[in-house]
Structure 1
Amino acid sequence: MAEGLGLKGPRGWAFRDVSFHAGAGALVALEGPSGTGRTCLLLALTGRMKTQEGHAEVGGLRLPRKMAAVRRIAGLGQVPGVSELDPSLTVAEHLRERALLQRRFDGSVRALLRRPGTRAAEARARIAEALAAAGLDLAALPKGERTSVRDLERLEALRLSIALALMGRPRLIGVDDTDLKLSDADRAEAWALLRAVAAAGTTVLAVCSEAPADALRITTVGTTVSTAAATPATEPAEPSEPGTAAEPAAATEPAAAEGPAAAEEPTEPAAAEGPAAATEDDITEEGAADALAETRRA
């Protein structure tokens, strides 16, 4: 749930007035062109970026007040510059590393005191469970589990990133660039995967350029953010209400960038109508880029 959520960067608002409600197990698509605050919204809702306006609630935890607690129940799939796969590591190395981190930071003290054989068996079981949920068949990869990430197809890399996130058994999972550089067939498979994850009870936030018709769509159009109603992908554990349209802020031309800024994707900014002179209350592409760059440096 989000009410009037807004996040401001050094050169403007990344997004404002975002309001919607989604039940557990919903598929929520953060839709819009690059540079409209989609990734910032994803990171804010998963407890990775602090908002300045409004509030949100994830699993009964209020944002931005309970960001650390939300991070413990929210996993991240692929997010460029934040949770990227290491191209030099193999699939097996990624999985083993995540299993070790999971045991070290999320396990109980009693779990750390278990016999090494027991811990290893539990890690293998958790890895197998996550791979099955993500639909990643290691035997089908060119070199099996020893396949380097750089040799994975984009859909395979997406499945791996989701498997890594699911190893923490989160209640919420966020995925960036869901449909970027995917063929129509691969895009259909990607959305089928996310529907299956949502159907298992994990709420899914997916950044995309075009949402499927059965997702709850949070649409970023031009330089403003609004929400559009849609039918949830699955029957949620709690009733899901359709998103309500947000009051769009005044659209302006994006201000000229000053110095290098890390943008979400190197694409042309969306066309905007309105006065050329931007004010501090305008939602700008630079605002989203600056806010995202600060998070990547943190």
Structure 2
Amino acid sequence: METPRHSRPAPDTPTPILKADSLRLATGQGLVFDTLSVDIPRGALCAITGKAGAGKSALLLALTGRMQGVTGSLVVDGHDARRHPRRVRSATSVARIDTLIEPEASLSLEDCITERTLADAAPARARMANYLHTAGLLGLTAPLSTLYGRLTPADQVRAAVALATIRPATLVVVDDVDRETTAREQADLWTALGRLADHGVTVIATTSELAALPGDLLRIEMEPTHAR
């Protein structure tokens, strides 16, 4: 069986997979984030931290080319987000964003795989191999017959990320690692996400809980804006 593409380590290169310069997002309700600049290395695990309302979810969407109204410069996997937003979206994958983007609770994992394959136009022949490879890296052992909504909160993170790699992507984002999870579970999740990053997939995840973060983890710290 062919090794899933997302399991192949990326070549050693000094070029960051993501380079953002002076990103800014303002909506009709006010400023969401302002003058954010960051370089994220290929194959890195990065945490976006901040309290509720700091704009973490919006930033995930912005960094994957899925948020309108963003100004500044963003290059992802060599693609300019302004000139080629579709290429940025193709190079990235969203596991979940708050409660807006998330697998359907009433579907089994097997049905979630089918749904995600159709939604992402993923290669049908490789979908199961890709899912199982990532699930194994993350430590997800739930049978495919398990309903997504019956998984523990920690395993929902694992499942959402595994589903996001059915279509191979160079960068995967996942929101709210700390949602209804204990500090120990969060620490285990960060370790698991690190294993996926070690296999060549850059991972950006958000949390409001700092205590469980590894000390050497790359971080983007966000503060709530006052112009909302």
Q: CA deviation at 1:89?
A: 0.8
Partner of 2:7: none
Letter in 1 for 2:222: T
Contact 2:134 2:196 (8 Å CA) reproduced: no
| 1:55-204 mapped onto 2 (5 Å cutoff) | 55-102=73-120, 105-107=121-123, 122-138=126-142, 144-204=143-203
Structure 1 gaps of 5+ residues are 108-118, 139-143, 224-251, 253-281, 285-298
Percent identity over the alignment is 30
State the distance in 2 between where 1:39 and 1:4 align: 18
Q: CA deviation at 1:66?
A: 2.0
Letter in 2 for 1:30: I
| 1:278-289 mapped onto 2 (5 Å cutoff) | 282=227, 284=228
Partner of 1:37: 55
Structure 2 gaps of 5+ residues are 1-18
| 1:244-283 mapped onto 2 (5 Å cutoff) | 252=226, 282=227
What count of residue pairs does the alignment treat as equivalent? Answer: 207
State the distance in 2 between where 1:126 and 1:39 align: 26
Q: CA deviation at 1:81?
A: 4.0
Partner of 1:6: 24
Partner of 2:11: none
Q: CA deviation at 1:56?
A: 1.1
Helix, strand or coil: the match of 2:96? coil
State the distance in 1 between where 2:41 and 2:189 align: 21
State the distance in 2 between where 1:15 and 1:222 align: 8
Q: CA deviation at 1:63?
A: 2.0
Q: CA deviation at 1:202?
A: 1.1
State the distance in 2 between where 1:19 and 1:127 align: 33
Helix, strand or coil: the match of 2:37? strand
Contact 2:132 2:162 (8 Å CA) reproduced: no
RMSD over aligned Cα atoms = 1.8
Normalising by the residue count of structure 1, what TM-score does the alignment of the two structures yield? 0.65
Contact 2:127 2:167 (8 Å CA) reproduced: no
Post-superposition, which runs of at least 4 consecutive aligned residues in structure 1 deviate over 3 A? 99-102
Rg (Cα) greater in structure: 1
Letter in 2 for 1:86: E
Normalising by the residue count of structure 2, what TM-score does the alignment of the two structures yield? 0.84
Cα deviations across residues 22-42 of structure 1 (Å, max 9, x unaligned)? 110111111100111111111
Identify if the C-alpha distance between structure 1 residues 148 and 57 changes in structure 2 by more than 3 Å, giving closer, same or farther: same
